[in-house]
Amino acid sequence: MSLLDELETAVGVDHVLVDADLTASYETDWTGRFSGRARCVVRPRSTDQVAAVLRACSAHGAPVVVQGGNTGLVGGAVPAGGEVVVSMSRLSDVGEIDLAAAQVTVGAGVTLAATSGGWLLLRTASLRLAMLATVFTASLTGVTGRPTPAASGCCATARCVRS
């Protein structure tokens, strides 16, 4: 069985993209600075499907590039040439919000924009919980992934004794 046949068996024929018009948005990052050609784009819906896709690619010696929201700034989720792009866009479930733990579990394809800009501010009486306060700070050396003090809800200003 060919790689494409195995991928179609794993995720369904509608979720293995080979047409250039359909793969184009997966082959260029959102800044437009990085691009490359993919062998195909595969869009699994479950972790079981992700595992089946990776097994098939491994068996055929096919390199893989995984894409979450394709919003990175350094081109790491863009194919260099000939890789199978595994898009996590269909893994988009958002779980229940756990107020006590101040967290929510989301699928690998959920973008910060899909979670109200990356954070939800909840008020319960005078208690404020900042959830999903992951404000990424880009720099010339990469992404720090560290929440800013004001975004994490601990202070009213960017100056924070806890940072």
Rounded mean pLDDT, 3-12: 98
d(CA 52, CA 50): 5
The pLDDT tens digits of the residues spanning 84-99 come to: 999 999 998 888 777 7
Q: Give pLDDT, residue 116.
A: 58
Q: Cite the residue boundaries of each domain of the chain with CATH code 3.30.43.10.
A: 3-87
Residue 154 pLDDT > 80: no
**Domain 3-87 classification at class level:** alpha beta
Residue 3 pLDDT > 90: yes
Q: Give pLDDT, residue 156.
A: 46
Residue from 57, 104, 49 nearest 85 by CA:
57
Question: What pLDDT band is residue 50 in, cutting at 50, 70 and 90?
Answer: very high
Average pLDDT, the chain: 76
Residue 25 pLDDT > 80: yes
Q: Residue 153: which residues within 8 A CB-CB, separation 6 or more?
A: 121, 128, 129, 130, 133
The pLDDT tens digits of the residues spanning 102-139 come to: 777 888 888 777 665 444 433 332 234 343 333 333 33
109 exposed, middle or buried (CB, 10 Å; 0-12, 13-18, 19+)?
buried
Buried-exposed string 15-47: b where 16+ CB fall within 10 A, e elsewhere: bbbeeeeebeebbbbeeeebebebbbbbbbbee
